[in-house]
Amino acid sequence: MEIAMVTGASSGMGKEFVKQLSGMGGLDQIWVAARREERLKGLAREVGTPLRIFACDLTQPAGIGEVKAALSAERPHIRYLANCSGFAKFGAFDAISEADSLAMIDLNVRALVQMTLAAVPYMESGGHILEIASTAAFQPLPDMNIYAATKAFVLSYSRALNREIGKRGVTVTAVCPGWTKTEFFDVAKKDADAGAVRNFLFPSLPQNVVARALKDAQKGRELSVYGIFNKLHLFFAKILPASSVMTLWDAMK
């Protein structure tokens, strides 16, 4: 059985990955994970490929456990893994609760690594892993400090993993979107310091970010950055000291 696995499929970029992967054809099933089951059921009615739904919290051992058990029972051939579950909170270190601070690390880092390790044994040459990082990975970000640090982890982890399992013909692409029109902002502002970050310059559409990411993965690229503004961001983050980029961020955010 040929499958794709997509976390965070109930909205935003994860949902878009499911639609575009289904549109490409050739998959028997797409396995989708997120907490909101009704959303996943709604998506199953929208796309042509059958979805297998895992309505679970991926920060909880039972969530990942359910996916691992299904993998070992069905032993599918995974062609694509897109790890899109993730969230941010806006605000300084003392404006975000400890629970939210740790949950960002648990979901953006721990669950992403767990899903990757769970999937790799079922991937063969020609398989693609897409890890959703962010342009936040390019430098530290005051008022998004933990979020940016989790995404720096994802970027570093993905690039090194790509070298390691590239030898088996599996590619790992770190997808680094800038601001993208999804529910990300509702979550980032809720129970946080909503005004800490106000300017969301040049937002992208999720369908464009995902189309670019899938093309980059198929070309075996280790990095996918959609849009000229985000490419310029990467360029300046490479040539300027991190302290200067943080000063620019503080002036623009």
Ligand X SMILES: NC(=O)c1ccc[n+]([C@@H]2O[C@H](COP(=O)([O-])OP(=O)(O)OC[C@H]3O[C@@H](n4cnc5c(N)ncnc54)[C@H](OP(=O)(O)O)[C@@H]3O)[C@@H](O)[C@H]2O)c1
Q: Give the interface with ligand X as residue ranges (CB under 6 A).
A: 7-8, 10-14, 33-36, 39, 57-59, 84-88, 107, 132, 134, 177, 179-180, 182-184, 187
Angle made by CA atoms 26, 216, 185, in degrees to the nearest 5: 95
In the complex with ligand X, the residue whose CB is nearer, 39 or 189, is 39
Task: Quote the least distance from Cβ 192 to ligand X, whole Å.
Answer: 14
Closer to ligand X at the Cβ: 132 or 170? 132
| Residue 75: both structure tokens together | 């032993």
Q: With both helix axes pointing from N to C terminus, report the angle between 112-119 and 145-166 in degrees, rounded to the nearest 10.
A: 20
The helix-helix angle for 61-74 and 112-119 (nearest 10°) equals: 10
- Smallest separation, CB 184 to ligand X (Å): 3
Nearer to ligand X, 78 or 187 (CB): 187
Locus of tokens 């990975």:
137
- In the bound state with ligand X, the residue whose beta carbon lies nearer, of 12 and 127, is 12
Q: Which is nearer to ligand X, 78 or 155 (CB)?
A: 155
Rounded-to-5 percentages of helix, strand, coil across the chain: 55, 15, 30
Return the exposure string of 90-106: e unless at least 16 CB atoms fall within 10 Å of the residue's CB, then b: bbeeeebeeebeebbbb
Rg of the chain over Cα atoms, rounded to whole angstroms, equals: 17
Q: How far is the CB of 71 from ligand X (least distance, A)?
A: 17
Q: Which amino acid is at 225?
A: V
Considering the complex, what minimum distance in angstroms separates the CB of residue 124 from ligand X?
26
Provide the minimum distance between the beta carbon of 88 and ligand X in the complex, in angstroms, as a whole number: 6
- The DSSP secondary-structure symbol of 106 reads I
